[in-house]
Amino acid sequence: MKKIILFLAVALSIMACNATNNNSSNNAKQLSENDRIVVTDFGSFKLHAYASGDALGNMTHVIEGPNALVVVEPAAFYENIEELGSYIKSLNKPVEKVLALYHAAGFSAFDASKFVMIEGMPEFIGSDSYKGMMGFFASTFGDALDKTPAPANVETVASNAQVEWDGISFQFSPGASSDYPASSVLIGGKVYYIHFTPVANMHMGATQLTSRDAVNAYLAELEHAKSTGATTFIGGHGGATGDVAAVDFQIGYLKKVNSLLGEEATAENFVSAMKSAYPGIAGEAELEGVAAALYK
């Protein structure tokens, strides 16, 4: 029951964070209302970052190789499935794989044989905690949400696997230990996918910082992300892309959080200290929820 409540809290926080992200500026590439797909050419492949604009702030990324496409995190709402499907069709290349890493959704959009999940995720999405969160989404969004279940025998890869699709390397690594049992992935040695796009000059939210252990888990994940040598960072929520400066900001931010946790005895003092340390940056409203989680 405790895990179900936690996931519902995370679900609500994702919705709140999306509202904050849509009304703030940072040094991640932002998608305007009329330009919700950002394309970046890395030479051997292209990254198409699609902002769904849905209530959960979901991002989908299409990796375009010379002959085929790999979709990272399929869209969850039928409106976006149709919109993204039309865009993918315009690229005139077949979809080779669809990586449902943290977002086990959108299973109606592609042939079941295309989907790939991380080992352990098919079992996790069958847990009471995850089903409780999805039940909340289903009751909230109704028929707008694709509730098609994952394929019964979905293909899986190890959390640290290295595979190649259409000549592009995909190096998986376990994500933050406090998050779902999924993986981050280094794509083509240049693009790093993490659950949440790193964003500079913005407070992190209770979606990620659910406990003191989560602070350390995300710090370790960001430090690993930087160590890969990637130059572009993408996520399942947030801006289209982030850069190394955004990763550096969040690493410094989490170190400050840890420092203040050792100095401030109460949640109220922690919030005040964070506001003083980062005056005027976006997302101050998130601090109350973060403090509640870190001081419970």
Which residues are registered as beta bridge partners of 184? Answer: 173
Q: Which homologous superfamily does the CATH classification assign to the domain defined by 2-294?
A: Ribonuclease Z/Hydroxyacylglutathione hydrolase-like (3.60.15.10)
Handedness of CA 42, 226, 117, 86 (dihedral sign): negative
Average pLDDT of the residues in 35-50 = 94
pLDDT tens per residue across span 139-189: 999 999 999 999 999 999 999 999 999 999 999 999 999 999 999 999 999
Number of CB atoms found within 10 A of residue 153's CB: 9
Q: How far apart are CA 51 and CA 43, in angstroms?
A: 23
Main-chain phi, psi angles of 244, to 5 degrees: -60, -35
DSSP assigned state of 100? -
pLDDT at 146: 96
Q: Which amino acid does the sequence have at 148?
A: T
The bridge status of strand 155-157 relative to strand 115-118 is parallel
The yes-or-no verdict on residue 43 having pLDDT over 80 is yes
The yes-or-no verdict on residue 26 having pLDDT over 50 is no
Q: How far apart are CA 7 and CA 3, in angstroms?
A: 6
Which residues are registered as beta bridge partners of 233? Answer: 192, 242
Structure tokens at 124: 């996790």
pLDDT at 17: 52
Triad 57, 127, 155: Cα angle to 5° = 75
Structure tokens at 246: 């955004």
pLDDT at 5: 39
pLDDT at 14: 53
Q: How far apart are CA 290 and CA 210, in angstroms?
A: 7
pLDDT tens per residue across span 61-117: 999 999 999 999 999 999 999 999 999 999 999 999 999 999 999 999 999 999 999
Burial (CB count <10 Å: 0-12, 13-18, 19+), residue 213: exposed
Using pLDDT thresholds of 50, 70 and 90, give the confidence band for residue 2: very low
pLDDT at 274: 98
Q: How far apart are CA 177 and CA 160, in angstroms?
A: 14
Triad 115, 121, 123: Cα angle to 5° = 115
For 278-290, letters b (16+ CB in 10 Å) and e give: beebbbbebbebb
pLDDT tens per residue across span 209-259: 999 999 999 999 999 999 999 999 999 998 889 999 999 999 999 999 999
pLDDT tens per residue across span 123-134: 999 999 899 999
pLDDT at 27: 38
pLDDT tens per residue across span 44-66: 999 999 999 999 999 999 999 99
